[in-house]
Amino acid sequence: MKIIELEEVDSTNSYAKSNIEDFADRTIIHAQKQTAGRGRLNRAWVDLGNGNLFLSFVLKPSNEFSEIYPNITQYLSVVMCKVLENYGLKPQIKWPNDVLIDGKKISGILSETVMQGSKFKGLIVGIGVNLNAKKQDVDSIPNKIATALNIELNKNIDLKTFRDELIKEFFKNYDQFLENGFQLIKKDYIDRNCFLNKELQVQIFDKVEKGIAKSINDNGELILLDNNNKDIVLTIGDIL
Ligand code: BT5
């Protein structure tokens, strides 16, 4: 495991992706500042200033893509919760991988599969965590109610300590995750969910599905029960 520290970068995910050939498996790209942080679907991840966390894991688990790899985002959401629990908080997961404190978003995860033609090159798993932010900056994040760890705990957070705890927790069960996929974390994930048994609207690109969130299956997919008592199985989407 190697950590590459950058002062400033457009996006740790973009940097990791464009230089993936240069990085060994389990390299971590950590930047102090991000000028063009990315979320899913071309959304932006806002840099809330000094002392916040922006990092990407470069993972090369094999030469072939495996269908369990996309579940790494859910794996990382559980890891994130465990780290925050050690700070005395009770985080919750909103499917697929938002980590919330009392309904407020504290962290975002963006996982990307890198292919060269049909050849699998690796995974880039990026995470942003709000650790030290001003309340007014957090309140100006578009389309989301957000928070930061310093606001929740009313004290400054040591960035490096938090980063190292996150990396340690990530690699603790990573090899087991590669063997077992989502099933390894299913219980931990469901124990922390904030969406099951609720009436939901889920946006999948330009379509919205409605139903009661019935369960999460062994692949980490969300099962909605619609008005006609029919199951809808969702692999991706945003709970509205
Ligand atoms: C995410 O996307 O939540 C994934 C964000 C991943 C960011 C990390 S930082 C390191 C690495 N390098 C990158 O370039 N990216 C990764 P999504 O689920 O699409 O949510 C994006 C939405 O979250 C935005 O549209 C805002 O509403 C909200 N948001 C943006 N910045 C935020 C922040 N700092 N805190 C809380 N919410 C934020």
Task: Count structural domains, the chain.
Answer: 2
Q: Is the Cβ–Cβ distance between 182 and 219 less than 8 Å?
A: yes
Residues 6+ apart with CB under 8 A from 132: 48, 49, 50, 51, 52, 148, 149, 150, 156, 157, 159
Residues 6+ apart with CB under 8 A from 179: none
Residues 6+ apart with CB under 8 A from 52: 128, 129, 130, 131, 132, 133, 148, 159
The pLDDT assigned to 74 comes to 97
Average pLDDT rounded to a whole number, residues 148-167: 98
CA distance 111 to 57: 9
State which of 4, 10, 45 you would mutate to test the pocket of ligand 1, scoring each by most atoms of that ligand within 8 A of its C-beta.
Answer: 45
Residues 166 and 229 in one domain: no
Tell me the CA–centroid distance for residue 94 and ligand 1, in Å: 14
* Block residue for tokens 């904030």: 194
Residues 50 and 158 in one domain: yes
Token digits of residue 119: 């050849």
Q: What is the pLDDT of residues 6-16, one digit of tens each?
A: 999 999 999 99
Residues 32 and 86 in one domain: yes
Residues 207 and 187 in one domain: no
Query: How confident is residue 115, by pLDDT bands cut at 50, 70 and 90?
Result: very high
Q: What is the pLDDT of residues 58-98, one digit of tens each?
A: 999 999 999 999 999 999 999 999 999 999 999 999 998 89
Residues 187 and 205 in one domain: no
Residues 145 and 183 in one domain: yes
**Nearest-CA residue for atom 34 of ligand 1:** 46
Among 4-8, 28-32, 194-198, where is mean pLDDT lowest? 194-198
Residues 6+ apart with CB under 8 A from 183: 218
Residues 211 and 175 in one domain: no
Domain that holds residue 231: 199-239
3-class DSSP assignment, residue 13: helix
Average pLDDT rounded to a whole number, residues 19-23: 97
The pLDDT assigned to 42 comes to 87
Residues 51 and 119 in one domain: yes
CA distance 228 to 210: 11
Last residue of a domain, one of 173, 191, 209: 191
- Percent pLDDT > 90 in the chain is 97
Tell me the CA–centroid distance for residue 82 and ligand 1, in Å: 20
Residues 105 and 211 in one domain: no
**Ligand 1 neighbours (beta carbon < 6 A):** 11-13, 37-41, 43, 45-46, 48, 54-56, 105, 108-110, 126-128, 130, 141-144, 146
Q: What is the CATH number of the domain that holds 137?
A: 3.30.930.10
**Nearest-CA residue for atom 11 of ligand 1:** 126
Token digits of residue 192: 């922390």
Residues 212 and 132 in one domain: no
Tell me the CA–centroid distance for residue 207 and ligand 1, in Å: 22
The pLDDT assigned to 192 comes to 97
Q: What are phi and psi of 188, to 5 degrees?
A: -60, -40
Mean predicted lDDT score pLDDT of the chain: 96
Strand partners, 215: 223
Residues 144 and 216 in one domain: no
Q: Is the Cβ–Cβ distance between 192 and 84 less than 8 Å?
A: no
Residues 104 and 174 in one domain: yes
The pLDDT assigned to 97 comes to 87
Ligand 1 atom at shortest distance from the alpha carbon of 48: 34
Question: Per-residue b/e over 96-116, b at no fewer than 16 CB within 10 Å?
Answer: bbbbbbeebbbbbbbbbebee
CA distance 224 to 196: 9
Q: What is the CATH number of the domain that holds 214?
A: 2.30.30
Q: What is the pLDDT of residues 117-148, one digit of tens each?
A: 999 999 999 999 999 999 999 999 989 999 99
